[in-house]
Amino acid sequence: MLVNFTVNGRAVQVDVEPRTTLVDCLRSTLRLTGTHSGCEHGVCGACTVIVDSAAVRSCLMLAVQAEGSVLVSVEGLSREDGLTPLQTAFRKHHALQCGFCTPGMLTTAHALLSKEPDADEARIRSVLSGNLCRCTGYIPIIEAVLEARAAYRKKDNS
């Protein structure tokens, strides 16, 4: 089936089987391998991308369901000339080790702070509780997201 959507500002058309998941489409068809595939059944959050401004587990969504949507993957959160404030905060606070969970952490945090730049620690913890990390102990991740809020308040987050 032909499916049309926008990803990271680029209009794309992909030819996928109806059963193809969005994560497989992103990684295998579009070669956007920054989106990681972990549990493949909605538990770990590693595959999280932003679909029409909402954080979505791309292993639980079919590619055909993305028809007409605007997607942002972790690649779309980067810029050419350096790190974004969220990425800078992750580096400063050592919020990643192996990095497997990091794309999902970044997309989830970006979706949250874009809508709720004043999210408090409890809210951030609640939203990120669906993203599993086996390395960091979560504290550095929470500290990084808390620090990044200032850039989202000023809308200086890209």
For ligand FES, the binding residues (CB under 6 A) are 37-40, 42-47, 57, 59, 96-102, 133-136
**d(Cα 120, Cα 15) in Å, to the nearest integer?**
42
Residue with tokens 């989202």: 152
Nearer to ligand FES, 38 or 117 (CB): 38
Task: Report in angstroms how near the CB of residue 44 gets to ligand FES at its nearest.
Answer: 3
Nearer to ligand FES, 134 or 153 (CB): 134
Q: Which residues 6+ apart lie within 8 Å of 125 measured at CB?
A: 142
Nearer to ligand FES, 54 or 156 (CB): 54
Task: Report in angstroms how near the CB of residue 124 gets to ligand FES at its nearest.
Answer: 16
Do 49 and 22 contact (CB within 8 A), yes or no? yes
Nearer to ligand FES, 45 or 85 (CB): 45
Q: How far is CA 54 from CA 49, 96, 107, in A?
A: 8, 23, 9
Alpha helices by DSSP H, listed for the chain, are 22-24, 85-92, 102-115, 121-128, 139-153
Considering only the C-alpha atoms of the chain, give the largest distance between any 2 of them, rounded to a whole number of Å: 44
Do 8 and 71 contact (CB within 8 A), yes or no? yes
Task: Report in angstroms how near the CB of residue 105 gets to ligand FES at its nearest.
Answer: 7
Nearer to ligand FES, 41 or 155 (CB): 41
